[in-house]
Amino acid sequence: MTTARGSATATASELPGAGVHRLEAHKVLELLGSDERGLAPDRARELLAHYGPNVLREQKQRPVILTFLSEFTSPMAILLWVAGLIALVAGIVEIGVAVFAVNVINGVFGFWQEYRAERATEELKKMLTSCATVVRDGDVCQVPSEELVPGDLVLVTEGDRISADARVVEANDLQVDQSTLSGESRPVHKNARSIDEDLPMAQLTNMVYAGTTVSSGDGRVVVTSTGMHTEFGRIADLTQSVHDEPSPLQKELGRLTRQLSVLALALGAFFVLVAVLFVGEPWGRSFVFGLGMIVAFIPEGLLPTVTLSLALAVQRMAKQNALVKKLSSVETLGCTTVICSDKTGTLTQNEMTVLRLWLPGESYEVTGRGYAPEGQVLLDGVRQDVASNPGLRALLETISLCNNSTVHEPATGEQEWSVQGDPTEACLLVVASKGGLDVDALHRDRPRVKELPFDSRRKRMTAVHRVDGRNIAYVKGAPQEVPQLCSGIIRQGIREEMSDQDRRDIAAVNDDFARNGLRVLAVAIRTVEAGVDPTGLTTEEAERELTFLGLVAMEDPPREGVSEAVATCHRASIRIIMITGDYGLTAESIARSIGIVRGDDPRIIPGPELERMSDAELTEALRGEAIFARVAPEQKFRVVEALQAMGEIVAVTGDGVNDAPALKKADIGIAMGRTGTDVSEEAADMVLTDDHFGSIVRAIDEGRGVYENIRKFLTYILTSNMAEAAPSVVFLVSRGVVPLPLTVMQILTIDLGTDEVR
């Protein structure tokens, strides 16, 4: 997908993509005028002419020349032009030229910084593929992605980046990484089944979206929306619609400049009149005297000094893993009053580790951290092995087989184990290895015959495997959902009927884990009846009369040093609001453990609740301690907007395409350098090279130091300028008896010399 202006495009109402998730796959093809052979080449060309290229439309940009000239028309720049002009009028050419040169240098430097920062749309283009594999009239061919049209039948496979929104027609274990759009790190299983309800974009399992990536499997999809009508294009349009606001420093300097200009001109005119009318000085001499008073009050060295101070701060911050793209952002950091931070990877390590296993009547501890299979499964301090513990073995076998991830040993020259697939599933394989299970042999001996992928509506995944001539369904999912489908429970190796008390016990254990910041999965099993074809099993048939095995509790631990950084923010009167895609209780526990939440009753606001809240209700919620869970891009944007309306200076962290609007809207957008996308980095004002929350706090401290230094410099300038004006006042009051000790040239020389040295 590329970017173009002026191309023919269809309106949103003309596009046939709306509501296609409700239709069967063959009906979607029929609606789009396609079939199993794809579009005919002639028809594809007609549709391309009608709908326009599959491109991101650029918002009409301000001409570069106007952007360049605007650097020389700010209030402070105008004041410097006036100061230089006064010097020329007074015959002091050298000083006038020096003032003009300072203004030009500052203008060019500022323009270059701004020009490099404004490239979010260009980076959006880079994320999309240049070609797509398409079926045209029965032939498989490669076409440029900008030539895709609604109705095109596209083949997708592992590693492909999807170029347009499309409806899944056929899927073979198809999993798509939607994190750049939804913020969810878990790959989403896709299938061709219709969905007879309207759900959020991230929950439509029969749709794929432009800018996302195929994690595993393959399939065929039919294009439903292209260009700016895709979800990707919608976010791009939202990002483009956000205009930069002046930083607090720019606002203050503008206000100060106007005040000083009015004061200087008023005093200059006043003393000219006094000199003529009361002292009897000639007009020419009085005018020169008035110029001296004006020059004395104009802070010629303010702008270059502020620029130099900010530039030096940028260099210091770069050494502390914070890359600042705009000089004014340094001071904005110093004024920050609220930080809206995500959780995973910024406040936590983004490395899942299983810590606890719970079987009815037994609670196990798991040692070891990370994805290296180094550690033990302990019961009352005694190491457990699956050979002697059938209940533990059944649990570990289930989480190993109901799993699509792999864990790889470190490559040559590397130290870290790597993960392919969902990190949550990967840590389940690790704990199985710690318990003594040979995961690879297990998969070889028990081949998979059917998978019912994870679905956000039913909140579970089922894998059916062939085991010793029987078909066994292995299930894992949300601890609130799975026990409700169980009729039995394994206790001390014996199956018993599950009671309501058992379900209450499971819920209590789950809540206890969640309060300790752990993410929990429930595990169950079922033997499929003999004679039933497992390949035709539906979710209702496979996920009923289950036998409950236990719970698995895992942790994404807080980063080292985060608690100290949070405490520093509180001491500096900076609020921190967590905006995460995680479960509310888990998010609250993490927030409490690192000190973000300190009260007894913080408000947890999930995305759907936020959607229903009025602006007044949201504002009221933001006055107290609040945690936002599972929010959409527009909702995160709305939270930032509400905080700014309350008068807060807001910093926002983010790493995905979905974060770009909020990053751009924030007073200071902070992108993650390691895990962030190009789009988030370009939309942000600052990039963290280590993705660590502590780097934000250090940057804020640096910004506050710069702000304090600028404040001190302003005090110095104003007091020294008053001293420069004093001799002229004495000359005026004495009616010329006391000679004028400082000429205009001397005052300008003192201003530029002492201010720059300072």
- Distance, in Å, from the CA atom of 330 to the CA atom of 314, rounded to the nearest integer, reads 7
648 lies in some domain: yes
Q: Are residues 632 and 484 in the same domain?
A: no
Residue 663, both tokens = 């990053």
Task: Determine how many CB atoms are found less than 10 A away from the CB of residue 445.
Answer: 12
pLDDT band at 114 (very low <50, low <70, confident <90, very high): low
**Is 174 within 8 Å of 191 (Cβ atoms)?**
yes
Which span out of 25-34, 93-102, 169-178 was modeled with the highest average pLDDT?
25-34
> Tens digit of pLDDT for each residue in 584-612?
777 788 888 889 988 878 899 988 899 89
525-529, 577-581, 681-685: which has the minimum mean pLDDT? 681-685
Q: Are residues 497 and 383 in the same domain?
A: yes
- Distance, in Å, from the CA atom of 297 to the CA atom of 299, rounded to the nearest integer, reads 6
Q: Report which of 305, 107, 290 is spatially closest to residue 753, judged by C-alpha positions.
A: 305
Output 663-667 pairs: Cβ under 8 A, ≥24 positions apart: 664/120, 664/239, 664/242, 664/244, 665/242, 665/637, 665/640, 665/641, 666/340, 666/640, 667/245, 667/247, 667/248, 667/332, 667/335, 667/336
Q: Are residues 610 and 529 in the same domain?
A: no
Q: Are residues 534 and 446 in the same domain?
A: yes
**Is 539 within 8 Å of 458 (Cβ atoms)?**
yes
462 or 172: which leads in pLDDT: 462
> Tens digit of pLDDT for each residue in 278-300?
767 677 666 666 666 666 666 65
pLDDT, residue 7, reads: 38
Strands (E), 342-393: 353-359, 362-366, 377-379, 382-383
Q: Are residues 480 and 596 in the same domain?
A: no
pLDDT, residue 17, reads: 57
pLDDT, residue 117, reads: 43
Q: Are residues 423 and 476 in the same domain?
A: yes
- Residues in the chain, how many? 758
> Tens digit of pLDDT for each residue in 72-89?
776 667 766 876 777 677
φ and ψ of 560, to 5 deg: -65, 135
pLDDT, residue 247, reads: 58
Residue 244 is among the residues annotated as catalytic for this protein: no
Mean pLDDT calculated for residue range 168-180: 81
Boundary of a domain, candidates 661, 679, 702: 702
- Distance, in Å, from the CA atom of 462 to the CA atom of 452, rounded to the nearest integer, reads 5
Whichever domain contains 444, its CATH number is 3.40.1110.10
Which element (helix H / strand E) includes 611? helix 607-612
pLDDT, residue 128, reads: 39
% of the chain residues with pLDDT over 90: 25
Whichever domain contains 153, its CATH number is 2.70.150.10
Q: What is the residue whose two structure tokens read 């499309």?
A: 166
**Is 405 within 8 Å of 419 (Cβ atoms)?**
yes
- Distance, in Å, from the CA atom of 515 to the CA atom of 587, rounded to the nearest integer, reads 9
Q: Are residues 583 and 478 in the same domain?
A: no
Q: Are residues 505 and 605 in the same domain?
A: no
Q: Are residues 413 and 538 in the same domain?
A: yes
Its domain, for residue 18, covers 3-59+125-228
> Tens digit of pLDDT for each residue in 239-283?
555 555 555 666 666 677 677 777 777 877 887 787 777 767 677
Residue 370, both tokens = 């990370």
From 152, 160, 177, 342, active-site residue: 342
Boundary of a domain, candidates 702, 721, 749: 702
291 lies in some domain: no
pLDDT, residue 103, reads: 73
Boundary of a domain, candidates 228, 249, 265: 228
Residue 752 has pLDDT above 60, yes or no: no
Mean pLDDT calculated for residue range 702-720: 77
- Distance, in Å, from the CA atom of 647 to the CA atom of 669, rounded to the nearest integer, reads 17
Whichever domain contains 667, its CATH number is 3.40.50.1000
pLDDT, residue 413, reads: 67
- Packed helices 693-733 and 327-335: angle between N→C axes, nearest 10 degrees: 100
Which element (helix H / strand E) includes 489? strand 486-491
Distances in Å between the Cα of 737 and the Cα atoms of 161, 504, 522, 741 are 84, 98, 96, 12
Mean pLDDT calculated for residue range 22-29: 87
Which element (helix H / strand E) includes 172? strand 165-177
Instruction: Please state the domain count of the chain.
Output: 3
Q: Are residues 358 and 330 in the same domain?
A: no
| DSSP states of 89-139 | HTT-HHHHHHHHHHHHHHHHHHHHHHHHH--HHHHHHHTS-SEEEEEETTE
Give the side-chain half-sphere CA count within 13 A for 211. Answer: 32
pLDDT, residue 85, reads: 79
Residue 384 has pLDDT above 50, yes or no: yes
Q: Are residues 378 and 333 in the same domain?
A: no
Chain centroid to CA 719: how far? Answer: 45
**In sequence order, which ranges of 226-301 are alpha helices (DSSP H)?**
231-240, 248-274, 283-297
89 lies in some domain: no
671 lies in some domain: yes
394 lies in some domain: yes
Residue 526, both tokens = 């079922």
84 or 662: which leads in pLDDT: 662
66 lies in some domain: no
Enumerate residues 6+ apart whose C-beta is below 8 A from 566: 576, 594, 595, 596, 693
Residue 171, both tokens = 């899927």
- Distance, in Å, from the CA atom of 519 to the CA atom of 343, rounded to the nearest integer, reads 13
Q: Are residues 337 and 361 in the same domain?
A: no
pLDDT, residue 91, reads: 66
Sign of torsion, CA 338 343 345 348? positive
476 or 80: which leads in pLDDT: 476
506 lies in some domain: yes
For the entire predicted model, the pTM comes to 0.58
**Is 190 within 8 Å of 171 (Cβ atoms)?**
yes
43 lies in some domain: yes
Residue 311, both tokens = 């530039």
Residue 38, both tokens = 């794809």
- Distance, in Å, from the CA atom of 688 to the CA atom of 681, rounded to the nearest integer, reads 9
45-59, 381-395, 497-511, 553-567: which has the minimum mean pLDDT? 45-59
655 or 12: which leads in pLDDT: 655
Sign of torsion, CA 531 534 540 543? positive
% of the chain residues with pLDDT over 70: 76
**Is 627 within 8 Å of 587 (Cβ atoms)?**
yes
> Tens digit of pLDDT for each residue in 501-533?
999 999 999 988 988 878 899 999 999 988 888
Residue 307, both tokens = 């620029």
Residue 107, both tokens = 């203008």
Q: What is the residue whose two structure tokens read 């599959």?
A: 54
- Distance, in Å, from the CA atom of 736 to the CA atom of 714, rounded to the nearest integer, reads 32
